[in-house]
């Protein structure tokens, strides 16, 4: 998912949550990745009718299977898509600007551009415009598409940054690191989501710096995506790393590593993806996809692959750890996560299980404000098309309801004012 700065505070996230749960799950199992070879790319062992009938045959090898890539699932694109390996004549006018962007990346004298372009050819990614209300870009590992907003307020440079972001998600899919384990805790889901999103966001910054270094400042000046503050910081970091004698790729990776950690200081960004994770985890719980704890956790090894661009360039390879605070100053969000995790233990282990009882006792001791909230009601409201609240907003709504209905404390009745 890619976000636009000016829209950030206005955007509900529900649509993407719905999209991912419907697009990435089938019969309760996440099937978007299929069988992955040891080098991280799926073998091309099947060819569906749709692929045979499209303009460009898939590559013989190193091609990912997208289970949703059939005419029904891709109907929204109709013929309005571009693929990097196509010629200008093959691409319809409706997707030409997206094709041009991929050529710009592929032909650039950068490390990342040709790597992203090359991957998009091997992985046979479709790029198409789409009407979007909550994000400006969306990767789907189910059908191997990158959707970019058709809102014409955005420049071509802006869209190129989005295509970079979403193509990085494509690489993450191919490397299997966006695959959630259903026995994970909500905090593991959170780490997985945020590592992938931070890497995709930082990838945008790095390609902008690379073009700037090649005397093409347009991407770095794209204010809708890179604020003046971020641009200033990037230029400062870039100047600092270039002061040594290390090779260019090492300098670029150093900025990438530092920016990865800086991303976790953006409170709005943390709130957005925490809300997304909260919504997603609740949906998984509702659908009975979550499993009891198995001891498996999201690994640092996966986070280190989140910024993998090519065998020669991975700006997260040197991560020392995942940031420890993924909530920033949002204590309500932290409490909501604690409560939802406790609800997961109750559902998967049983309410009487000692692990669940201990978790509940801990929440009580910490005076968790969501204790007692009915998760059935939470997901009912989240699934209601008329609902405008985000996941935390819905949790807050029911916590307030609970408070309103509390019995008056004994001996203190006169002080309770009922509305
Ligand atoms: Zn994203």
> Residue 250 CA to chain centroid, in angstroms?
26
Output the CA 285–ligand 1 centroid distance in Å: 23
> Residue 183 Cα, ligand 1 centroid: separation in angstroms?
23
Residue 350: per-residue pLDDT: 96
Q: Are residues 314 and 366 in the same domain?
A: no
pLDDT single digits (tens) 129-160: 988 877 899 999 888 999 999 998 999 999 99
Q: Which of 180, 193, 176 is nearest to 34 (CA)?
A: 176
The span from the CA of 201 to the CA of 199, in Å, is 5
Taking the mean position of all CA atoms in its chain, how far away is CA 80? 25
Task: Tell me if 25 sits within 8 A of 140, measured CB to CB.
Answer: no
pLDDT tens digits along 276-322: 999 999 999 999 999 999 999 999 999 999 999 999 999 999 999 99
Q: What is residue 32's predicted lDDT score, i.e. its pLDDT?
A: 26
Residue 410 alpha carbon to ligand 1 centre in Å: 51
- Does one domain contain both 382 and 292? no
**Per-residue pLDDT tens over the stretch 107-126:** 999 999 999 999 999 999 99
User: Which residue's structure tokens are 């910081």?
Assistant: 233
Q: How confident is the model over 156-185, as pLDDT tens digits? A: 999 999 999 999 999 999 998 888 999 999
How far, in Å, is the centroid of ligand 1 from the Cα of 307? 12
Residue 317: CA count within 13 A, CB half-sphere: 13
Please check whether residue 1 lies inside any domain of the structure.
Answer: no
Instruction: Print the domain residue range for 93.
Output: 8-329
Rounded to the nearest angstrom, the distance between the alpha carbon of 12 and the centre of ligand 1 is 15
Question: 47 alpha carbon to ligand 1 midpoint, in Å?
Answer: 28
Taking 70 as the threshold, does the pLDDT of residue 71 lie above it?
Answer: no
Where do the DSSP E strands lie in 331-392? Answer: none
Give yes or no: residues 109 and 75 share one domain: yes
Supply angle C-alpha 133, 134, 138, rounded to 5. 100
- Of 74-83, 86-95, 236-245, the least confident: 74-83
Q: Are residues 311 and 362 in the same domain?
A: no
Q: For 266-296, give one letter per residue: b (16+ CB within 10 A) or e.
A: eeebbbbbbbbbbbbbbbbbbeebbeebeee
Residue 63: which residues within 8 A CB-CB, separation 6 or more? 41, 42, 43, 44, 122, 123, 124
pLDDT value of residue 111: 96
Q: What is the pTM of this model?
A: 0.83
Q: Which of 208, 261, 209 is nearest to 239 (CA)?
A: 209
User: Looking at the structure, do residues 408 and 284 belong to the same domain, yes or no?
Assistant: no
145-149 and 126-130 strand pairing: parallel
Residues 275 and 362 in one domain: no
User: Same domain, yes or no, for 288 and 388?
Assistant: no
Instruction: Look at residue 139 and give its three-state secondary structure.
Output: strand
Residues 304, 344, single domain; the answer is no
Count CA within 13 A, CB hemisphere, residue 274: 25
Residue 65's pLDDT band, with cuts at 50, 70 and 90, is confident
CA of 135 relative to ligand 1 center, distance in Å: 9
Q: Which helix (DSSP H) or strand (DSSP E) does residue 165 occupy?
A: helix 156-174
**Under 8 Å between Cβ of 134 and 149:** no
Ligand 1 midpoint to CA 176 (Å): 15
In the predicted structure, residue 355 carries a pLDDT above the cut 70: yes
Same domain for 325 and 365, yes or no, is no
Domain boundary (329, 360, 380) is at 329
Angle at 311 between CA 316 and CA 161, to 5 degrees: 60
Q: 201 C-alpha to center of ligand 1: Å?
A: 7
Average pLDDT over residues 26-37: 25
The span from the CA of 95 to the CA of 168, in Å, is: 20
What does the pLDDT read at residue 333? Answer: 98
pLDDT by residue (tens digit) across 371-381? 999 999 999 99
Please give the distance, rounded to the nearest whole angstrom, from the Cα atom of residue 169 to the centre of ligand 1. Answer: 7
Q: Same domain, yes or no, for 154 and 99?
A: yes
305, 329, 353: which is the final residue of a domain?
329
Cα 273 to ligand 1 centroid, rounded to whole Å:
10
Lowest mean pLDDT among 68-72, 151-155, 165-169, 405-409: 405-409
Model confidence at 413: pLDDT above 90: no
Q: How many domains does the chain have?
A: 2
> What per-residue confidence (pLDDT) applies to 4?
56
Asked whether residue 254 falls in the same domain as residue 368, the answer is: no
3 in a structural domain: no
CA of 213 to the centre of ligand 1 (A): 25
CA distance 73 to 141: 12
pLDDT above 60 for 208? yes
- Least confident range from 143-152, 185-194, 262-271: namely 143-152
Is 205 found in the same domain as 71?
yes
How remote is the CA of residue 2 from the centroid of ligand 1, in Å? 5
- 137 alpha carbon – ligand 1 mean position (Å): 8
Which residues have CB under 8 Å from 70's CB, separation 6+? Answer: 48, 49, 50
Average pLDDT taken over every residue of the chain? 83
Is 285 or 24 the better-scoring residue by pLDDT?
Answer: 285
pLDDT score for 48? 33
């Amino acid at each position: 998912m890619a976000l636009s700065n000016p829209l950030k505070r206005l955007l509900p996230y529900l649509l993407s949550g719905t999209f991912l749960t419907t697009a990435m799950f089938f019969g309760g199992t996440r099937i978007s990745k299929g069988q992955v070879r040891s080098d991280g790319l799926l073998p091309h062992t099947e060819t569906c009718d749709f692929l045979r009938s499209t303009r460009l045959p898939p590559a013989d090898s190193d091609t990912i299977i997208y289970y949703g890539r059939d005419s029904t699932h891709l109907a929204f694109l109709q013929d309005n898509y571009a693929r990097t390996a196509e010629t200008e004549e093959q691409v319809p006018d409706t997707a030409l600007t997206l094709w041009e962007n991929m050529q710009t990346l592929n032909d650039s004298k950068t490390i990342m551009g040709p790597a992203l372009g090359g991957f998009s050819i091997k992985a046979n990614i479709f790029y198409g415009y789409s009407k979007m209300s909550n994000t400006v870009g969306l990767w789907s590992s189910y059908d191997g598409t990158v959707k970019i907003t058709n809102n014409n307020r955005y420049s071509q440079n802006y869209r190129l940054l989005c295509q970079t972001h979403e193509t990085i998600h494509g690489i993450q899919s191919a490397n299997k690191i966006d695959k959630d384990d259903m026995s994970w805790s909500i905090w593991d889901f959170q780490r997985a989501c945020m590592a992938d999103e931070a890497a995709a966001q930082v990838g945008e910054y790095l390609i902008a710096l690379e073009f700037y270094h090649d005397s093409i400042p347009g991407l770095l000046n794209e204010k809708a995506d890179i604020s003046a503050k971020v641009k200033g910081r990037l230029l400062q970091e870039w100047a600092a790393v270039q002061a040594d004698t290390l090779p260019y790729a090492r300098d670029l990776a150093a900025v990438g590593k530092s920016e990865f950690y800086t991303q976790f200081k953006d409170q709005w960004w943390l709130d957005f993806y925490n809300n997304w994770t909260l919504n997603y985890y609740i949906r998984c719980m509702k659908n009975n996809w979550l499993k009891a704890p198995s001891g498996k956790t999201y690994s640092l090894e996966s986070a280190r692959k989140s910024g993998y661009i090519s065998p020669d360039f991975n700006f997260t390879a040197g991560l020392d750890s995942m940031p420890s605070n993924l909530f920033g100053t949002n204590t309500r969000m932290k409490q909501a996560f604690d409560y939802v995790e406790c609800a997961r233990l109750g559902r998967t282990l049983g309410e009487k299980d000692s692990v669940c009882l201990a978790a509940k006792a801990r929440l009580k001791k910490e005076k968790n404000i969501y204790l007692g909230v009915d998760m059935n009601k939470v997901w009912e409201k989240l699934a209601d098309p008329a609902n405008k609240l985000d996941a935390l907003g819905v949790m807050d709504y029911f916590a307030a309801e609970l408070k309103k209905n509390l019995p008056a404390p004994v001996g203190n009745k006169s002080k309770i004012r009922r509305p």
